[in-house]
Structures are given as C-alpha cells and as structure tokens.
Amino acid sequence: MNRIVCLMFALAAVISCRQPENARPALDISNMDLSVDPGEDFYRYATGGWMDSHPLTPEYARYGTFNELIDNNEKQIRQLFENLSESSPVPGSEAQKINDLYSMGLDSARLSSEGAAPLKKGLDEIAAISDSRSLAEVVARMHSVAEFPFFAGYVSADMVNSDANVLYISQSGLGMGDRDYYLDTANAGIKDAYRQYLARIIGLAGMENPDTVAAEVLEVEDAIAEISWSAVELRDVKKSYNPISAKDLKAAYPAFDFGAWFRELGIEEPDKIIVGQPSYLKGLDSLFTAFSQEQLKKYLAAQHISEFCTVLGEDFYDAYFDFFSRTMAGAKEKKPRWKRSLDVASSLLPEAVGKLYVETYFPQSSKDAMLVMVSNIRTALAEHIDSLKWMSDSTKTFAKEKLDAIVVKVGYPDTWKDYSSLIINPTLTYMENVRNIRAWNMADNFSRLQKPVDKTEWLMSPQTVNAYYNPATNEICFPAAILQPPFFNPEADDAVNYGAIGVVISHEMTHGFDDQGRHFDKNGNMTDWWKPEDEEAFRKMTDVLVAQFDSVTVLPGLKANGALCLGENIADQGGLRVAYTALQNSFGGERPADIDGFTAEQRFYLSYANIWAMNITDQEKARLTRLDVHSLGENRVNVTLRNLQTFFDAFGIEAGDAMYRPEEERVIIW
C-alpha cells in the first residue's frame, strides 16, 4: 500500500534567498513571550505571544499557524467558486461540476426538506440482505463508494514490486476510528456518548427502536475492536505485508463470501492480494458466525447513515458535530455551511479545484526557488549520511543512492486528472452526487489493478496545506498551498526559511530513512538493504527517542506515545539537523548580521517553533495522542530540541535549565 508520511498534517518546502531592503519582518517579535526564559520553556518563549493573541474560537478544537494558512486558502477558493457561479459555466465542464456541487452544499433549505430520503436506497439494500452472498454483495457496493464496514479494499503499489499495482485488504469498520476507544475503560464516557450518537442518527433515519439498535451496533463494533491491531502495530510495514491468492483467501476466511464480493465489484479474482492483518480477518471470520444476520444488518445500516451525515440536513450534521467535534475534540461551534460545502467540493474534485487554484495563486517563481532549496537540502543530508559513526560504509552507499533517487514534486501535477466522464447532476440529491463521485473515484482506483503504477500521480491536491513522502515511489511532494508564509517566504532571510520550510523539506526526505521508510530501497521496493549491525544500532537509538516522548505527560493520567509517533519524531529531528547544516552551508564562510537582535541560528530555531504555534483543547490533545502519528506541537519543539547541542549553543542553555538534556541522555540519529 502507499504509506505516505507527512509532517503535521505534514509539511513542505522552502526557498533560499536574501532579505531585500524594506522587506517585511520575517519573524514577528510580538508572537514571542519575552518574559519567559528560553532555557525554561522554549515553546512558550517562541510562540506565547501568538497563542495569547489567537485564543480558540468556538469553531475550533485546535488552531495554529497551519489553520491560519488553511483559513486564507478557504477564502481564496471561495472567491474562485463565487466567480464560477457568476460566469455561467459550460455544461459538462469542470467549472460546471465544481459549481453545481458547491451550490448544492449551500442549499440548506433543500437539504432540510429532503431529510433522510437520500439514505433510503442504501438502507433498503441492507434490509434486503437474506444470506451470506447478498451480505457480501451489499458490503461490496458500500466499498465501491468508499464506505468500509468490516474491512477495506483498495488498489495500490505492491510494496515489494513498486512498478505493479496490487489489491490490499486491511482492517476497518470502527465508527470511532481506533480500538482503544472501545477497549480502554478510561474512554467509557466517550463510548457512551457514541452509543447516544448512534441512537440519534438511527432515529433520524426513521428506523424503529433506535436505542436498542444502537446497543446492538455497539456490540458488533466492540467485537471488531477486540480483533483489531493497535495503532502502533499497524505501523509495522513488514508484518502488514501478507500475500495470498484469491483462491486461498476464500478458503482461509470462508464465512464471508469473497467470491460474491469480487463479482459485485467487477474485479477478476487476482493471483496476489496483500492482507494487512491476517489475525484480524481470522477474527472477522468468527464474527460473521457469532452474530445474527439481523444484527450485522443493523451495524451496516448505522455505518451507512454515519458515513453521510455531513451531506444531509442540518439535524444529521448536528448529531455528527455534537459527537465527533464537540465531545471527542472539544469544539463548540459548527463551521459555517460555505466552509463545509467548499471542503466537500475540494476533497472530491481535488485536481479540478487545484487547477483553478494554481492558475490564480501559485507563481512559477515559487516553484523555481523551491527546487533550488530542495537541492541544497539534499546535499546537506548526504553530508550527514557520510558523517554517521553508527552506520557501515556499505549501508551508507545504499542510503546515498536512495537519497539521489528521491523524486521531487512541487506545486501541482504535470498532467491533470481527466474528469470528463464524471457527471454531476443537480436534479439528484446532494448525497447522491457525493456518493456518485466517490463511486467514480473508487472505480478509478480498482481499474488500476491490471495496470502499471502511475508514478506521476499526486496523492495530495495542490490546494492542500500539507506535504508528504511516499516510500513506494521514493518521492517528496510539496503542494502549492503550503508554499506561503510562514512556511515559505520569499522576502525572509535564509535563517527563517531554513528553519520553517527548510526543516519541512528535510523532514520529508528523512522519512525515507525513518523506522518505516528505511525498509524501502531507492526504487520503492521493500527489501533489506541494511547490514544487521546497522539495524541494531538504529533500533537502540530509536528506543531512546521512544522513551523520551513516552515520559511526557500530555494530561493528568495520559502520557505521549513515543512508539506511535516514532517516524515523525525521527523526521523532525533529522529535518532540524539537516536544515541547520544547509543554513550553515549557505553562509559561504561569511556570517550574516543579526536581525532584530537575534543571530541567524536563533532565528532558525525561532522560525521552527513558530510553525508549531497552536492553541488546543484538552479533548483534542487526548484524541490526537491516541490516534495521531504526529506528536503535539509543543513536544515537537521542546522534546526534540533538547537533543541538539546547536540549539543549546544558540540560546546559551546550560545544565540546570529545564530545556537542557545531559549529553549522555541525548540521541542523534540522522
């Protein structure tokens, strides 16, 4: 499967440039809290002013510099959409499709009048299930529109043969996303709120005895949680690669009619399928016989209703918001309808919207400067590989070959996706159109099964504030939307740019050598190219990094999860070290003058901290700690920096300071 790894959401690029005269300040000193000693709490010192001036508004469970950029992008895209509505788009054009989908999402009166009617077809199909074959057929139809009860099926690059596409089957089907919400008694309150949510939407859909049905649905989900792998276990790429033929799949898991599933999806039974979690499928096989067909149908109905709550009337959306945003994350107020409608159009028609976005907002100069910066970072990472004392020369040779082979994608795809066969029909309901687009996207995915991997494809849209590394293609990708201040600033000095987007570039490159990415070679194939003694040295260092984060108290009774966030924490540290080297290389032997009383090295670390400025609710802290492979922003700064001598030197941090970590307790990987 494509295991793309990102920075927060992720991260992205930068530019190497000198600050011209009369340029705006690259670092806003008012974002800092100068009353705090940087040696005591660097995160607060660097970002406290920003946090004080950006208190959480009711719409958000967390709000940081990422969100500022997202807000700005949403306003820009909204203007593009409004321009479309005024220009009478040509029928069948991408503009017409975007405009119609966006307009339907805005029509709250129509959505309210339609009520639960758009759900009827799907619920009727579920109600008509009468045997194992029809159950598998309905599950297949749900999978064909990206609903994934019980398990997920999709096509992606083969992890051991990155030129070929293969079918993957992996665990899925938990409404709350992670098994610990069901199994950990500390989450009993959230679990009860989820049961109430299920009853609420089941009642809104017109089903009888919603409280009883909700309880039965939760019994099924509890059983699914019991057999599910943990979030940490899911990060093990080797254990997640289990090839099997369709014939053997049907024999190994007979309780589910995989033959009917393949036929309904129109997939010729493949000779090779990758099962992500065999023990899960074995448990699922028992589950299909342990529960009555009627109870399984109730589970499917609840999954179907919940999947589309956000594109139905406001009563459905209110139920969804009250649980997932208010209870689980701590938000207090819904997003305005225009933002919700915009998000749907942008996510379902990503490259159609992206084309509009880059034509208006992304200059070629940003792409050109970005490529220069990437080259500088690549050089610095090669220097780091050469200097490693724990890695053998033979493994270093392979590592540098992989580094040289990394493909760089900046801004937008060279070839845009063709949406000409997709139909948006305003006479259908909003949900029906959303469902049809999802069906179009899944059909496109399944159609790749007999085709070679398209390595030019983008896995993020240009308007996404994010970035990623994909080990299957050994590529780093930086969408246009993140190449803006505070991440990318053509008016800033080098120190600020290397500390922000420069760290992002090297973060993404370092993902190629983290605990997951290191298993893939320069061509994107999972293979052992490390010497055993190098692997052992690497593991010992990563164990130290895991322990450092495990020791952090997020909330009373809740610690950070160093194993879950290991890949991102490796990339954060590597990103900082490599970008710092690239900054030093940029000086060319001539030190730059201080700016605003701060040295270049200080501005580098202040810039890094600034991109993680964030206010966040306790509920969201708890949710992200359980689910997210990224550490919380405060820990990405304070915990990571405590390993770096160059940081201590920049701010005069010494033994006895809270930010100081003794040398024997530090760990340096890349």
Same domain, 57 and 126: no
- Say which residue the tokens 């990339």 belong to: 571
pTM over 0.85: yes
pLDDT of residue 25: 59
Say how far apart CA 573 and CA 670 lie, in whole Å. Answer: 8
Residue 238: give its domain's CATH number. 1.10.1380.10
Same domain, 521 and 630: yes
Residue 275 lies in a domain: yes
Q: Which residues of 323-334 are buried (b: 16+ CB within 10 A; e: fewer)?
A: bbbbbbbbbeeb
Would strands 558-559 and 614-616 be described as parallel, antiparallel, or unpaired? Answer: unpaired
Say how far apart CA 528 and CA 312 lie, in whole Å. Answer: 49
Domain edge (last residue) among 293, 311, 329:
311
Residue 352 lies in a domain: no
CB count within 10 Å of CB 103 equals: 16
pLDDT tens readout for residues 10-62? 333 222 233 333 344 589 999 999 999 999 999 999 999 999 999 999 999 99
Q: Is 645 left (phi over 0), alpha (psi -120 to 50) or beta?
A: alpha
Say how far apart CA 657 and CA 648 lie, in whole Å. Answer: 10
Per-residue DSSP letter, 469: E
Domain edge (last residue) among 288, 311, 334:
311
Nearest to 478 by CA among 630, 587, 373: 373
Say how far apart CA 79 and CA 463 lie, in whole Å. Answer: 14
Distances 500 to 233, 556, 565 between C-alpha atoms, Å? 31, 32, 20
Residue 331 lies in a domain: no
Same domain, 59 and 130: no
Contact partners, residue 187, CB within 8 Å, separation at least 6: 180, 181
pLDDT of residue 24: 44
Helix (H) or strand (E) holding 158: strand 151-158
Residue 545 lies in a domain: yes
Residue 427 lies in a domain: no
Which amino acid, residue 388?
L
Same domain, 154 and 244: yes
CB count within 10 Å of CB 192 equals: 12
pLDDT of residue 413: 96
Could you give the 3-state DSSP secondary structure of residue 466? coil
Q: Which domain holds residue 62?
A: 5-67+368-414+456-665
Same domain, 58 and 123: no
The count of structural domains within the chain is: 2
Same domain, 154 and 243: yes
365 token code pair: 């100069």
Say how far apart CA 363 and CA 366 lie, in whole Å. Answer: 6
User: Would you name the residues annotated as active-site residues?
Assistant: 508, 572
Same domain, 188 and 297: yes
- Say which residue the tokens 């915990």 belong to: 639
111 within 8 A of 232, measured Cβ to Cβ: no
pLDDT of residue 4: 59
Same domain, 382 and 286: no
pLDDT of residue 589: 84
Would strands 468-470 and 273-275 be described as parallel, antiparallel, or unpaired? Answer: unpaired
Same domain, 128 and 61: no
Same domain, 226 and 159: yes
- Say which residue the tokens 């070290």 belong to: 577
Distances 574 to 189, 394, 455, 580, 640 between C-alpha atoms, Å? 39, 21, 26, 10, 10
Same domain, 61 and 195: no
Contact partners, residue 33, CB within 8 Å, separation at least 6: 44, 45, 47, 48, 49, 52
Residue 356 lies in a domain: no
415 token code pair: 């070839």
Nearest to 601 by CA among 582, 577, 580: 580
Could you give the 3-state DSSP secondary structure of residue 309? helix
Do you find a cis peptide bond into 486, omega within 30 degrees of 0? yes
CA torsion, ordered 642, 645, 650, 653, to nearest 10 deg: 60
Say how far apart CA 204 and CA 183 lie, in whole Å. Answer: 28
Residue 438 lies in a domain: no
Residue 27 lies in a domain: yes
When computed from its CA atoms, the radius of gyration of the chain, rounded to whole angstroms, is 25
Same domain, 497 and 622: yes
Contact partners, residue 382, CB within 8 Å, separation at least 6: 400, 403, 404
Distances 267 to 130, 264, 279, 517, 634 between C-alpha atoms, Å? 23, 8, 24, 31, 47
Say how far apart CA 89 and CA 223 lie, in whole Å. Answer: 50
Residue 499: give its domain's CATH number. 3.40.390.10
Could you give the 3-state DSSP secondary structure of residue 519? helix
Domain edge (last residue) among 311, 340, 356:
311
Distances 157 to 44, 297, 325, 445 between C-alpha atoms, Å? 43, 33, 34, 11
Helix (H) or strand (E) holding 476: strand 475-479
Mean pLDDT by 10 residues, the chain (670 residues): 49 30 67 97 98 95 93 95 91 96 97 97 98 98 98 97 97 96 94 98 97 98 98 96 98 97 96 98 97 98 98 98 96 96 97 96 90 96 97 97 97 96 97 98 95 95 95 96 90 93 96 96 95 96 97 96 97 98 93 94 97 96 94 97 98 97 96
599 token code pair: 């040295």
